[in-house]
Amino acid sequence: MRELILWLCLCALLPAQEAIFKVYDKKFSALINTHTQPKILYSQGLWLEGPQVLPNGDLVVSDVEGNEVLLFQRIRHGFKMRVLLKPSHHQNGHALDPKGHLVAVSHGNRDLERLENKHWQVLASTYHHKKFNSPNDVIVDRQGNIYFSDPKFGLLKSGQPAAQEGEFVYRYNPKTKQVVRLNTPLLKSPNGLALSPDEKILYIADSQLAYNPNDSHLKHQVLAYNVSSDKSLHNGRVFAIITPGFPDGIKVDSQGNLWVSNGHGIQVFNPQGNMLGEIIMPQVVSNLAFDLKTSALFVTSDSKLYMFDLKP
């Protein structure tokens, strides 16, 4: 593990003046401070992704292109950053299981992993004896079931052939070690994942447009599926069409609003699919994470990690 420590003090951070808040519903202004610019915590990434707040308040972020995972540790006046994992085998999304263990999906290893006792353990790497494509995002429900998306995006850069016949979302049961492929007939290319607060709705970012941004026929939407008591999905429907670009990371807040990263920032929708507001950013936004203890929103983009002030 690299010991180089970079000290990041909030007093020395430069505000990102380019962030523009567009309010379409007054409820948006009740969610985030629209009069305060975000702070830039880091600006040297190659492609930042997978922000996850840890139980102690520290923050984990993947630099997928940089092939490393960064740890931002809280100090009195800000954060200190160190490299947590290098090479990271191009880890992307992160989540926490009910015990507080860090869970990750890896482009390079093409698997689902969990950090235990400072070592990464492979939870699943195949479905029907075939390697996953390029696991992208991951979430965990309150019972410990792990959902992860498996598009082919990462394979395009690595040059590796796809083993699965399509792009799917899977659910891993840590008790039985079983991997189930979810039935998502509307889905083309899964990306970000999120569950509603009651875990009765699964949201999936469909980012088919990523393969050819000039082909308007490709999907760029968020789908919603009802989750039954046996965890099967039904009643799939289009929750929102995302423009410009396509959806990437998505998160649900405690009120059930869906925050969607896209080509020019973040769009926020209420549970009925109505857009409450937007945050226009200078770079393509890849993902986001909430820290409810400090009322902060962490946002990853091309090269930068931002911190916004949420309303308590």
So where are the chain's domains? Answer: 20-39+74-288
Alpha helices by DSSP H, the chain: 26-29, 153-158
**If phi over 0 gives left and psi between -120 and 50 gives alpha, with beta otherwise, what is residue 206?**
beta
pLDDT digits (tens, 9 = 90+) for 135-166: 999 999 999 999 999 999 876 566 678 889 99
Angle at 188 between CA 184 and CA 194, to 5 degrees: 60
Domain spanning 20-39+74-288: which superfamily? TolB, C-terminal domain (2.120.10.30)
Give the integer Cα–Cα distance in Å for 1 and 201.
Answer: 39
Angle at 140 between CA 136 and CA 145, to 5 degrees: 110
Q: Are 263 and 278 in contact (CB under 8 A)?
A: no
Q: Are 215 and 245 in contact (CB under 8 A)?
A: no
Regarding beta strands 6-9 and 305-309, do their DSSP bridges make them parallel or antiparallel, or are they unpaired?
unpaired
Which residues contact residue 216 at a Cβ distance below 8 angstroms, ignoring those fewer than 6 apart?
Answer: none
Give the integer Cα–Cα distance in Å for 246 and 263.
Answer: 6
CB atoms within 10 A of CB 228: 11
pLDDT digits (tens, 9 = 90+) for 14-39: 454 679 999 999 999 999 999 999 99
Bridge partners for 261 per DSSP: 266
Q: In a structure prediction context, what are the per-residue pLDDT tens digits for the chain, which is 312 residues long?
A: 333 334 344 434 445 467 999 999 999 999 999 999 999 999 999 999 999 999 999 999 999 999 999 999 999 888 999 999 999 999 999 999 999 999 999 999 999 999 999 999 999 999 999 999 999 999 999 999 999 999 998 765 666 788 899 999 999 999 999 999 999 999 999 999 999 999 999 999 999 999 999 998 999 999 999 999 999 999 999 999 999 999 999 999 999 999 999 999 999 999 999 999 999 999 999 999 999 999 999 999 999 999 999 999
Rg (C-alpha) for the chain, rounded Å, is: 18
